[in-house]
Amino acid sequence: MLLHSSNPVPPDERLVTFSNPQSFEAEQFRRLRHRVEELGARRGTRVLALTSAVASDGKTLIALNLAGALAGARGARILLIDADLRCPTVATTLGLDTGGKDLLSALDAPAAQLDRTVHHIEGGTLDVLPCERSRSDAYEVLTSAAFAALLAEARRRYDFVVLDTPPVIPVPDTALLRPTVDGYLVVVSANTTPRKLVAETLNQLDPPAVLGLVFNRDDRPLFGYYRSSYSRYFRSYTRSLEA
């Protein structure tokens, strides 16, 4: 899967499911993809919000890599939406030049028009709907009829929709999405995110809607366990995944 060659900013090298799909790190995202696909088959879970307790837990990179892994399934159509309206970073991380085509322009149209606003990632089946600029009226945007209509259209067109959403503790935005998403994946930075903040995050979200926790930056040497038998299946990838 290739990012647009005309991008003015090089994409983040930690996007392993795009740039290094045979790496051990990318394989862990395929493991996560398998869990998501199981939820889709058993419960019809198709629209997922990625969030975290606080900023800097790595939710955006997890969302991007998960979307890239999901797009690896043959024929699967995947949409990634940057719904972090206060601090959007998907376009920057991907190195996308939005050209004014983003989530807010889609919502400003008379009706949700994904075809005119999504950005297609070359070589795969992943579309991205970035957010070009921050908005202070996130509450009004995320609870609007236009946003609900856009997600309804996305649900019809795509097999899975992944939303990168704000951290839960600082702002209420992510909880506002409950009527329009099927569930939440909460990113936790291993050995960094305080347990009390994780507990508070789970309390603020609808508990039945929390699909699971995704541990990021776990420094346990899992790869060492497999090195003798399975390392030939993974290309060398020496930089640690510090999302």
In a domain, residue 6? The reply is: no
Residue 1 has a pLDDT of 54
Answer yes or no: is 113 within a domain.
yes
The residue among 50 and 97 whose pLDDT is bigger is 50
Assess whether pLDDT exceeds 50 at residue 52. yes
pLDDT one-digit tens code per residue, 168-198: 999 999 999 999 999 999 999 888 889 999 9
pLDDT band for 220, please (50, 70, 90 cuts): low
Q: What pTM value is reported for the model?
A: 0.86
Residue 242 falls inside a structural domain: no
- Residue 7 lies inside a defined structural domain of this protein: no
The rounded distance, in Å, linking the Cα atoms of 181 and 209 is 9
- Cα distance between residue 206 and residue 9, in whole Å: 38
Q: Rounded mean pLDDT of 146-172?
A: 95
String of DSSP letters for 152-199: HHHHHH-SEEEEE---TTT-SHHHHTTTT-SEEEEEEETTTS-HHHHH
Residue 214 has pLDDT above 70, yes or no: yes
Q: For residue 29, is it within any domain? A: no
**Residue 21 resides in a domain:** no
How high is the mean pLDDT of the chain? 84
Kindly report the CATH number assigned to the domain that includes residue 109.
3.40.50.300
Q: Per the domain annotation, does 17 fall within a domain?
A: no
Whether residue 109 is predicted with pLDDT greater than 80 in this model: the reply is no
Domain, as residue range, for 152: 42-233
Classify residue 89: in a domain, yes or no.
yes
Domain count, the chain: 1
